[in-house]
Amino acid sequence: MEEKIKNPDVQHYNNGDHVRFNRRAHEILDKNKEAIDVSELLTDYELKLALEEHIYKWMRQSEFTEKKAAADYDRDKTLIGITATVKAATKHVIPLMQDYAKHVFVAINNFGNLAKADYNAETAGIDSLLVRLRSKEYIVAVEALGLTPWLDELEKYNNLFKEYANEVEQELVEKPSIKYKDARHDTDKALRKIIKRISSLIDINGPEAYSQFVSEFNVHVNLYNTQLNEHYGRLHAKRDISNAEIDTIPVQTYMGKPVYVIPVVKIRKIEKDNTESIIELEFTKDFTVGYKNNAAAGTATLTIKGIGKYSGEIITTFNIVN
C-alpha cells in the first residue's frame, strides 16, 4: 500500500504536457473527491487550470497569424503570375490575342500594384478586380488568355486571407489579461495545496482511506516524470517500477522442490503523441526476482527489483498446490 503522494516535476514540463498532466490530475482528484475531502481546494484548482487552458489555447490559436501570412503570400504570388501572363501575351504572335492582353492589362493596372498595398486595401482591391475581370466586358478576353484558373486561385487565397484575418482579430479581442507563466504558476500552487492537504490527512487518519487515490495519482506522476527524463536525455535517471503491472501468475503445482516462476512485468509509457504504450520488461536485464515460501504448498511471495535502467521494487504472490 502506497502511503505518500509523489510530487510531479511540473516545473520542467513543456506547456502542452503541463496542461495535459493537470487535466488528468484533476480528473483523478474529482473521481476520488468524496474519499479525499478537498472540495474547496479542488474548486480553486479547477478554476486556475481552466484559466491556464484558456491562455494556452489562445497561444495555440496564434497559428492563424502564420496561416494569414501564408495566404497573403499565395495571393501575392498569384497576382504577380496573372500580371506576368497578361504582359507576356501583349507580344503574342496572334494580333487578336495581343488586343485581348492589352485590354486586360489596362484593367489590372487601374488597380495599381495590389501586392504592395496594405492588407485591407489589397483584400478589397482583389475583390473588385475579380468582379471586373469576370464581367461581360472582359470575360471573353480572360477565357481566351487562359486566366480563369488563375482568377479562381486568386479568389481562393483572398477568401482564406479574410478567414484567417478574422481569426487573428478574434484572438486580439480574447487576449488574456495575465501572462501564461503566471497562470501556470497559479495552477501549480493550487495543486501543491491539494497534495499538502491530502498528505496531512493521511498522517492524521492513516493511509487506508486514501490508498486508491494515492496509487492512481502516483501512476500518473510516474508516467509524466518518466517522459520528462527521456525528453531531457537523462540516461542516468532510473525508471521506477513500483507501479508496474504484473500479469496474474497461474497456480503452480508442488513437485517436491522449490517452485520458480518468471513474472511478466509491464510498465506504461507516454509517447510523443500523448498516447500510452505498454513496455514488457526483460528478466535479468531490467529486473530480478526474489522468492519466499516457494518450497511447499501455500502462498509464495515474489519480490521484483528493478535493475539497469530501472529501480524500485514491487511484491506479488502466487499459489502453490499439491
- CB atoms near residue 281 (< 10 Å): 21
Class of domain 63-173: mainly alpha
Q: Which of 188, 196, 178, 221 lies closest to 48, judged by CA?
A: 188
Contact 208, 254 (CB under 8 A): no
List the single range of 2-16, 212-226, 278-292 with lowest mean pLDDT: 2-16
- One-letter amino acid of 156: K
CA 47 – CA 71 distance, rounded (Å)? 37
- One-letter amino acid of 237: A
Q: Please say if the pLDDT value at position 235 is more than 50.
A: no
Q: What average pLDDT does the segment 184-195 reach?
A: 92
Query: Which residues have CB under 8 Å from 85's CB, separation 6+?
Result: 145, 146, 147, 150
List the single range of 1-5, 74-78, 116-120, 177-181 with lowest mean pLDDT: 1-5
Cα 131 to chain centroid distance, Å, stands at 43
**84-88 long-range contacts, Cβ below 8 Å, gap at least 24?**
85/145, 85/146, 85/147, 85/150, 86/145, 86/147
List the single range of 23-32, 78-87, 164-173, 207-216 with lowest mean pLDDT: 164-173
The per-residue DSSP string of 221-259 comes to HHHHHHHHHHHTT-TTPPEE-TT-EEPPPPPEE--SS--
**Could you give phi then psi for residue 98, rounded to 5 degrees?**
-60, -45
**Per-residue pLDDT at 236:** 47
Virtual CA dihedral for 95, 96, 102, 103, nearest 10 degrees? 160
**Per-residue pLDDT at 234:** 45
Q: What average pLDDT does the segment 7-31 reach?
A: 87
| CA angle, 119 then 123 then 128, to 5° | 145
Residue ranges of domains in the chain: 10-61+178-237, 63-173, 245-321
Residues 239-253 pLDDT 10s: 888 878 899 999 999
**Per-residue pLDDT at 73:** 84
Among left, alpha and beta (phi > 0; psi -120 to 50; other), residue 228 is alpha
Q: Please say if the pLDDT value at position 56 is more than 60.
A: yes
**Could you give phi then psi for residue 279, rounded to 5 degrees?**
-115, 130
CA 170 – CA 162 distance, rounded (Å)? 12
Cell numbers for 126? 482583389
